[in-house]
Amino acid sequence: MSYDDTARALEAFTDHVRFERLVIELLARHGHDVRPLGGSGDKGRDAVTGLYRAKGGEALAVTISLKAVWAGKITSDISRIIKNGFQPDDVLSVTNRSTSETKRSELQKKAADDHKISLTISDVRWLIPQLHRRENLDLRGEYLHLPPPRPSFFKDVGEYEQVLERRRLISSQFTGRSEEMDELERLLMIEGRSVILEAPGGVGKTRLAYQLAQSGRSDARWFFIDADNRFSIDYVAETEAGYEAAVLIDDAHRRDDLTELLAGLEQREPLPKLVFTVRPGHGQAVETTLARFAFPSAQTLMLQPIGRSALVEALGEKPYEIKHEGMLLRLLSLSEGNTGIALLGAELALAGIDPADLSQCQARRLAPRRSRARRPRQPFGARACRSAWLSLHSRRRGGRSRSCFARRASADDSPRRACRRRSCRRRRAAQIHDQAGHCA
């Protein structure tokens, strides 16, 4: 997000009425019960907060100004408030200008000595972060007419949920992980440790942290860092310092900017709680990197595949609703408890494709990686994978290769209709392949 654009737009603001509305909306969203007064008869008060008192009026008076000479305007407003018979305990003055600490301290001392008023001055440095909070971005667009800011690097629960939904990673019921969720909550929130979730792809590391964040059992506000996003130091402002936060760093072992990311998070007050997801064998490297910073020491939590009953329950619920015992047994045997593999097999089954074909293509991406010395890495391009899909769906009969797609076409189908069916099946297989890549 560009703070400079927001600063320039605020400095160029000239409509006092609209600026008053903007500030009052910000204060209301900040938890103040603000009642606007502005206009020719406001008697120095643009808004008030609190119950009316017979002597002195409301306890908090708000003054709002676009004047370049901000100090003189604040002094004038306080004098008008006192002259009209009001005696607030506190005055909050909001200006779109930059202020200096020396001048603010001088005005605050004068207000306390002369009128026994506690004066708070919020300038452009308060306004900019408020307008960049996620819940206030609509005000930034409405009042400053600025385009939507760049996509968030630190995604909140709602934003990350949309990412997971697009990748179809939360389409199934979450089951079989109650003990692991309790342990993650204990390590993170009670003991205050950093946590490394270590498991093969598809077992459910990211899903576990997401479900804890969504459950409301954690008091901290959660942020999620997707593995494909590159870090820059100015992104740290998105975590909005001042309250407890937890940050999930997905696929931390793949990040070549992990050191820079942790250095940036170390600047936040208070320090965020950290959760890392890694593949087997990479937890120690992440723990070593973390030890260079001021974060709590890490505890590795090894995730095992969920039990057969939990996996059967997930496959039996929407959107899969697989009840056939034979198909369930095939999926259980194929996945060996790996949720990602089982759900991809279920996708194939719903598309009318033999789930066993998954073991030759997608399962290789989800399975734990073996030593390169024993198994050299092979190219896995999109065209090669698509060819593998088609060849895997072929069957040898009478010395000739016949596609299972063609065999399913009825005898009276025209060649054009059979061709369309084959094309549809191929597209569906390619889509499922693309989904599998996100589970790795």
What token pair was written down for 413? 């189908």
What CA–CA distances, in Å, run from 24 to 36, 60, 93?
Answer: 7, 13, 12
289, 293, 297, 299 alpha-carbon torsion, rounded to 10°: -40
3-state secondary structure 204-262: CHHHHHHHHHHHCCCCCEEEEECCCCCCCHHHHHHHCCCCCEEEEECCHHHCCCHHHHH
Let me know: does 36 contact 61? Beta carbons within 8 Å. Answer: no
Please state the domain extents for the chain.
Answer: 3-144, 157-302, 312-439
Distance CA 9, CA 144 (A): 6
pLDDT at 158: 87
Residues 6+ apart with CB under 8 A from 239: 154, 223, 245, 247, 265, 268, 272
Domain 3-144, CATH class in plain words: alpha beta
Rounded to a whole number of angstroms, the distance between the first and last alpha carbons of the chain is: 30
Report the range of poorest mean pLDDT among 43-47, 93-97, 202-206, 401-405: 401-405
CA dihedral 301, 302, 307, 312 (to 10 degrees): 80
Q: Closest Cα to residue 111, out of 84, 95, 91, 83? A: 91
The average pLDDT across 281-286 equals: 95
Q: Are domains 3-144 and 157-302 of this chain identical in fold?
A: no
Q: What is the pLDDT of residues 193-238, one digit of tens each?
A: 999 999 999 899 999 999 999 998 878 899 999 988 889 887 887 8
What token pair was written down for 186?
Answer: 């204990």
Are residues 237 and 401 in contact, defined by beta-carbon separation less than 8 angstroms? no
Amino acid at 187: L
Enter the tokens of residue 349: 């089954």
Average pLDDT along the chain: 82
Least reliable range by pLDDT among 135-139, 152-156, 267-271, 421-425: 421-425
In three-state secondary structure terms, 334 is: helix
Contact 438, 340 (CB under 8 A): no
Long-range Cβ contacts of 355-361 (<8 Å, 24+ apart): 355/327, 355/330, 355/331, 356/330, 357/389, 357/392, 357/393, 358/334, 359/334, 360/388, 360/392, 361/385, 361/388, 361/389, 361/392, 361/433, 361/436
pTM for the full model? 0.58
pLDDT value at 376 more than 90 = no
Provide the 8-state DSSP code for 90.
Answer: E
Is the pLDDT confidence value at 387 over 90? no
Q: Is the domain 157-302 a CATH 3.40.50.300 member?
A: yes
More confident residue, 253 or 435: 253
